[in-house]
């Protein structure tokens, strides 16, 4: 049997933190559609028997019916492929979800919030869906695998060995329990970084997000293609779907003395045409930096985000010891900075010091 395994497509995501340019959200939503079409075409061309979608296919809060219809129309183009969907924390199978109220194509099976088993001619396929935006326990330990000789496959959204407090509401799953159960393949979703063939005979797999959702998801994105033969031998391959990659470039501003010079330096950077780039400004700045103003003058449209991590070039400790108005101002502001714990508030205080010193010169 041959299968494709994807997860975390997040259709109709607003991409609010993706870029400093408003149009980027729309462009990435178009890329989502392009990537999904590529996946369907691959299934057609390679006679893939099964498609496993391990959660977060769409964003419940933002999804449009037209997008659901787009997805389902593509499913109808592969009628011989059996499609199994396990809803995740972003697309839970709540009462008013499209998983419940939409008439999906006949080849689509959406699992419920109690672990189910579907027996096909090729395999025993188990699945579980979130029925809320959080899930603390899917009771994976209660599964009893069928011993009819067919491969046992689990399709599920969750956090493998999620030990951190922030991970626990998202269906923490024990890798040890999964291995003890003896699944022939576990199609996971939730973690956006792919994890396949990272160790010998790996059967517990994250395909990662099918399309990069931002600069915290650098690297390749796509789908896992698998094959299980009559001896239950598993072969896996990762196929890239997203033509665009997100990269970060650091630019030191120590020796840059004006906004104009900074813009020139950014415009002279060599950028790959298939990359979306975030420029991270580092070092000691010699002038006030307004990243939104600077971005307006950047010629290369592949540069979509600026991040200012520079520090004030002034020797503040030295200035605070001056018996001048400038010294008194810096001394008081440094005290505020020392007592402030919030990172964003610290940045605001640093910016206020810079502006104040420039006005006192």
Confidence check: pLDDT of 125 > 80: yes
| Span 285-291, average pLDDT | 87
Number of Cβ within a 10 Å radius of residue 333: 18
Task: Give the Cα separation of 69 and 74 in Å (integer).
Answer: 9
Whose tokens are 């109709």? That residue is: 12
Domain boundaries, the chain: 2-240, 245-360
Q: What angle do CA 131, 90, 56 make, to 5 degrees?
A: 100
pLDDT category, 127, cuts 50, 70, 90? very high
**pLDDT tens profile 15-63:** 887 888 778 889 899 999 999 999 999 999 999 999 999 999 999 999 9
Q: What is the pLDDT of residue 167?
A: 56
Mean pLDDT of all residues belonging to the chain: 93
Task: Give the Cα separation of 216 and 8 in Å (integer).
Answer: 14
Q: What is the pLDDT of residue 162?
A: 62
Q: What is the pLDDT of residue 163?
A: 46
**pTM of the prediction?**
0.85
Task: Give the Cα separation of 319 and 324 in Å (integer).
Answer: 9
The first and second tokens of residue 223, run together, are 């789908």
Task: Give the Cα separation of 156 and 186 in Å (integer).
Answer: 8
Q: Are strands 245-252 and 275-282 parallel, antiparallel or unpaired?
A: parallel
Q: Are strands 116-119 and 124-127 parallel, antiparallel or unpaired?
A: antiparallel
**pLDDT tens profile 213-249:** 988 898 899 999 999 999 999 999 999 999 988 999 9
Q: What is the pLDDT of residue 248?
A: 94
Confidence check: pLDDT of 347 > 90: no
Q: What is the pLDDT of residue 286?
A: 83
Task: Give the Cα separation of 331 and 340 in Å (integer).
Answer: 15
Point out the least confidently predicted range of 67-76, 212-221, 262-271. Answer: 212-221
Task: Give the Cα separation of 162 and 28 in Å (integer).
Answer: 29
2-240: CATH number: 3.60.21.10
What 3 state SS string does the chain have?
CEEEEEECCCECCCCCCCCCCCCHHHHHHHHHHHHHHHHHHHHHHCCCCEEEECCCCECCCCCCHHHHHHHHHHHCCCCCCEEEECCCCCCCCCCCCHHHHCCCCCCEEECCCCCEEEECCCCEEEECCCCCCCECCCCHHHCCCCCCCCCEEEEEECEECCCCCCCCCECEECHHHHHHHCCCEEEEECCCCCECCCCCCCCEEECCECCCCCCCCCCCCEEEEEEECCCCCEEEEEEECCCCEEEEEEEECCCCCCHHHHHHHHHCCCCCCCEEEEEEEECEECCCCCHHHHHCCCCCCCEEEEEECCEECCCHHHHHCCCCHHHHHHHHHHHHHHHCCCHHHHHHHHHHHHHHHHHHC
CA 342 distance to own-chain centroid: 26
Task: Give the Cα separation of 154 and 156 in Å (integer).
Answer: 6
| Span 283-293, average pLDDT | 88
Residue 166, CA distances (Å) to 133, 140, 163, 208 in order: 14, 20, 8, 19
The first and second tokens of residue 65, run together, are 């019916």
**pLDDT tens profile 130-173:** 999 999 888 898 899 998 999 999 999 999 986 455 556 899 99
Non-local (6+) Cβ contacts of 93 within 8 A are 87, 99, 100, 110, 112, 113, 129, 130, 131
């Amino acid at each position: 049997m041959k299968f494709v395994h994807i997860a975390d497509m997040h259709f109709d995501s607003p991409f609010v933190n993706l870029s400093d340019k408003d149009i980027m959200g729309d462009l990435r939503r178009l890329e989502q559609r392009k990537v999904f079409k590529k996946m369907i075409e691959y299934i057609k061309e390679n006679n893939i028997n099964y498609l496993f979608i391990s959660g977060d296919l769409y964003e419940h809060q933002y999804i449009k019916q037209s997008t659901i219809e787009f997805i389902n129309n593509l499913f109808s183009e592969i009628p011989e492929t059996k499609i199994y969907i396990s809803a995740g924390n972003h697309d839970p199978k709540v009462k008013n979800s499209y998983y419940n109220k939409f008439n999906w194509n006949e080849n689509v099976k959406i699992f419920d919030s109690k672990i189910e088993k579907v027996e096909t001619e090729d395999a025993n396929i188990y699945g579980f869906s979130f029925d809320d935006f959080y899930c603390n326990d899917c009771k994976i330990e209660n599964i009893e695998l069928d011993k009819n000789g067919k491969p046992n496959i689990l399709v599920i959204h969750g956090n493998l060995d999620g030990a951190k407090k922030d991970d626990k509401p998202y269906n923490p799953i024990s890798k040890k329990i999964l291995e003890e159960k003896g699944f022939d393949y576990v199609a996971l979703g939730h973690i956006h970084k792919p994890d396949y063939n990272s160790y010998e005979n790996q059967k517990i797999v994250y395909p990662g997000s099918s399309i990069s959702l931002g600069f915290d998801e650098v690297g390749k994105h796509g789908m896992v293609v698998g094959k299980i033969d009559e001896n239950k031998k598993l072969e896996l391959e990762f196929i890239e779907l997203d033509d665009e990659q997100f990269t970060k470039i650091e630019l030191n501003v120590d020796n840059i003395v004006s906004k104009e010079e900074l813009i020139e330096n950014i415009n002279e950077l060599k950028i790959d045409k298939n990359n979306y780039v975030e420029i991270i400004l580092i070092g000691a700045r010699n002038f006030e930096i307004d990243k939104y103003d600077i971005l307006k003058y950047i010629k290369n449209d592949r540069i979509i985000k600026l991040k200012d991590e520079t520090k004030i070039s002034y020797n503040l400790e030295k200035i605070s010891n001056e018996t001048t108005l400038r010294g008194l101002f810096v001394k008081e502001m440094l005290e505020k900075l020392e007592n402030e714990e919030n990172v964003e508030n610290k940045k605001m205080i640093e910016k206020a010091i810079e502006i104040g010193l420039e006005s006192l010169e």
